[in-house]
Amino acid sequence: MTRPKKPDNGPVRAYATYVRIGIIGVGVLLQLGLLGLVTYYLQAYTAALYLLMDVAGLVTVFCLINRHDSSAYRMAWIIVILVAPVFGLLLYFLPGAGRFQPPGTGGAAPKGVRPRVCPAFGGPGAGGFPADASGNRRPTQ
């Protein structure tokens, strides 16, 4: 049995390809323009923003020091955050980046183990709420 022959859409496909390339080109130009505007307007605040990132990096390092993970894991993150605070913090706070799970757990924390998150960044202990019997800090009703 033979397949029916497809119609020749050569000119339509070529046109669609050029439209896609044009849309991508416009998007890249818009992103470069936005990057230029942000750079221009944030020049006056560079020192303050860098100081803020340094302070956030130090707070994160202190929280990392108090975590109960392997020392090699903690030391690797501490070095990355202290060498490049802006990119180190971005990498550390990516979803799942700072949450090591032991092998064989299927990506989930073992039963009864809660991830340690620094209270300074809204984790357990943030807001000054008292701890209940399981160690969770929630507002009392």
Beta carbons of 92 and 108 less than 8 angstroms apart: no
Instruction: Kindly report the average pLDDT of the chain as a whole number.
Output: 75
Can you give the pLDDT at residue 139? 52
Query: Could you tell me the CA-to-CA distances from 45 to 16, 17, 41, 56 in Å, in that order?
Result: 44, 42, 8, 16
Q: Is 127 left (phi over 0), alpha (psi -120 to 50) or beta?
A: left
Phi (first) and psi of residue 118, to 5 degrees: -65, 130
Average pLDDT over residues 36-62: 89
Can you give the pLDDT at residue 42? 87
Q: Which is more confidently placed, 107 or 17?
A: 17
Cα-Cα-Cα-Cα dihedral sign, residues 97, 102, 106, 108: negative
Tell me if the pTM is above 0.85: no
Can you give the pLDDT at residue 28? 95
Can you give the pLDDT at residue 79? 92
If you average pLDDT over each of 9-13, 37-41, 94-98, 123-127, which comes out highest? 37-41
**Per-residue pLDDT tens over the stretch 67-120:** 887 888 889 989 999 898 888 888 888 866 545 555 555 555 555 555 555 555
DSSP state of 97: T
Which residues, 6 or more positions from 52, have their beta carbon under 8 angstroms from its beta carbon? none
